[in-house]
Structure 1
Amino acid sequence: MTFDTEIAMASELRKLKLIIFDCDGVLVDSENLSIVALHDVILKQGGILSEEEVIQQFQGRSMKSARDELFAKQGVMLSQESLDEMNKQLFTCFKEELQPVKGVRSFIESLDLPVCVASSSHPERIDVSLTATKLKSYFAGNIFSSTMVQNGKPAPDLFLLAAKNMSVPADCALVIEDSPAGVEAARRAGMLCIGLTAGSHAKHPNHKQRLIEAGAHWVVSSYEEVAEVVEKLSEVN
Structure 2
Amino acid sequence: MAIEAVVFDMDGVVVDSERYWVEELSDILATAVPDADVEPESVVGINVYDQYDLLADEHDVAVTREEYFDLFDQHAATVYTERAALTDGFHDLLAELRARDLPVALVTSSFPNWVDMVFERFDLRDAFDVVVTAAEEDVPGKPEPDLYELAAARLGVAPGDLLVVEDSEHGVAAADAAGAYVVGYQHGASAGMAHDGADVVATDPGAFRARILDAL
| TM-score, with structure 1 as normaliser | 0.81
What RMSD over aligned residues (CA atoms) do the two structures have, in Å?
1.9
Look up the SS of the partner of 1:59 in the other structure. Answer: coil
* Map 1:25-40 → 2, pairs under 5 A: 25-40=12-27
Cα 1:38–1:227, aligned 2, differ >3 Å: closer, same or farther? closer
The reply on whether 1:172 has 2:161 as its aligned counterpart is yes
The number of residues matched between the two structures is 210
User: What is the match of residue 73 of structure 1?
Assistant: 58
What amino acid sits opposite 2:77 in the alignment? Answer: F
Q: Which amino acid aligns with 1:81?
A: E
* Counterpart residue type for residue 84 of structure 2: L
| Per-residue Cα deviation, 1:77-117 (whole angstroms, up to 9, x for no partner) | 54323532431332144212321122322211211211010
After TM superposition, list the pairs within 5 Å mapping 1:110-121 onto structure 2. 110-111=96-97, 112=100, 113-121=102-110
Q: Give yes or no for the alignment of 1:219 onto 2:201.
A: yes
The alpha-carbon distance between structure 1 residues 232 and 85, as it changes in their structure 2 partners (threshold 3 A), is closer
Q: Which moved more, 1:75-84 or 1:100-109?
A: 75-84
Identity %: 27
Alignment match of 1:63 (pick from 40, 48, 53)? 48
SS in 2 for 1:138: coil
> Which moves more between the two structures, 225-234 or 105-114?
225-234
**Do the aligned partners of residues 58 and 85 (structure 1) sit closer, same or farther apart at CA in structure 2, a change above 3 Å counting?**
closer
Q: Distance in 1 between matches of 2:211 and 2:71?
A: 41
Gaps of 5+ in 2: none
Q: Is the 8 A contact 2:17 2:79 kept in 1?
A: no
User: Of the two, which has the highest radius of gyration?
Assistant: 1
Cα offset, 1:122, TM superposition: 1.7
When you count helix as a share of all residues, which structure comes out higher?
Answer: 1
Cα-to-partner distance string for 1:44-101 (whole Å, 9 max, x where unaligned): 2343225xx111x111111122101111111215432353243133214421232112
Check conservation: 1:67, 1:78, Cα contact below 8 A.
no
Q: Please say if residues 197 and 219 of structure 1, whose CA atoms lie closer than 8 Å, have aligned partners that are also in contact.
A: yes
Q: Distance in 1 between matches of 2:209 and 2:69?
A: 37
Aligned-partner SS, 2:127:
helix
The CA distance in 2 between the partners of 1:157 and 1:109, in whole Å, is: 28
- Cα deviation, 1:139-187, whole Å, max 9, x if unaligned, reads 15x2101121320011000000000001111111000000111111111
Q: SS in structure 2 opposite 1:137?
A: coil
What is the aligned counterpart of 2:73 among 87, 93, 96?
A: 87
For residues 71 and 105 of structure 1, what CA distance do their matches in structure 2 show? 40
TM-score (norm. length: structure 2): 0.88
Alpha-carbon separation, structure 2, partners of 1:93 and 1:181: 21
Structure 2 vs 1, CA of residues 31 and 227 (structure 1 numbering), >3 Å: closer, same or farther? closer
Q: Partner amino acid for 1:190?
A: G
Partner of 2:90: 104
